[in-house]
A = this chain, B = another copy of it.
Amino acid sequence: MKYLDLIQEKKPLIHHLTNWVTIYDCAQVTRSLGALPVMAHAKEEVPEMVMLASALVLNIGTLTKDFVEAQILAGKAANKKGIPVVLDIVGCGATKMRSEASEQILREVKVSLIKGNYGEISVLAGHDAEVRGVESIGGSDKIDEAVMSLAKSHNAIVVATGKVDIIGDSEKVLKCEEGHEMMGKVVGTGCMAASVLGSFLSVCDKNEHLDAAFSAMMYYGKCGERAASKSEGAMEFKMRFLDEIGIQKV
């Protein structure tokens, strides 16, 4: 696949400011794809680190005020350099702080791709939905509409993950039905998807972002299916899932 080949060839550095729960998995999935992960969050160094990077992945899973400020600094540097920024709005809608942080980052940083589960994306689009902690409870009614309206207002690609992943811009949505229910039993599959999206976006132009995001989710889902067919439980699945991603077979 074009994007996978380009990642292998260019070994892009993917700079993350992510959460403390799945930080290892985000780094590893990036490495398995053939890209180079770096996790760095000190305000003193993020602008400089971004200058070495080919994409920036922001995730508010275990946010603090200070951490969000570092993310904004990094995001502004990424905008200056012109590299894609992926924002994973973990828990948006669960607390006021998470909703406000999502909006603040989107206000101050030009984000290329917004990712969340059905609930998070619905809440951010101003629809009704319940987010219990970091889990989506419902929010699927008008998800296509939520994706497109968010895409329009932020001039970004939007990815809403769920049983069917919705990948859209302001004009259309694509649906990815690949994947396996086992993915929902493993903590971190959502966060890792953002790293995969960031890696795919890092090797193409803005006009290819929708295609790259769709390809990323299709590849991710297929790897999940292959891994599930060989695994007896969630943790064995997680191991084999990452190893399927590393094989880079389409």
Q: Name A residues whose Cβ lies closer than 8 Å to a Cβ of B.
A: 11, 13, 15, 19-25, 27-28, 31-32, 36-42, 44-45, 48-49, 52-53, 61-65, 91, 94-98, 132-135, 185-188, 232-236, 238-240, 242-244, 246-247
Alpha-carbon distance A27/B244, docked complex (angstroms): 24
How many identical subunits does the complex contain?
A: 3
The dominant DSSP class at the A interface is mixed
- What B residues does A53 contact at CB under 8 A? 133
- What B residues does A132 contact at CB under 8 A? 11, 13, 36, 52
Alpha-carbon distance A106/B98, docked complex (angstroms): 29
Looking at the complex, which one of B41, B52, B63, B238 makes contact with A133 (CB distance below 8 Å)?
B52
Given contacts A20-B20, A242-B235, contact A40 B95 (CB under 8 A): yes
Alpha-carbon distance A11/B138, docked complex (angstroms): 14
Alpha-carbon distance A21/B28, docked complex (angstroms): 10
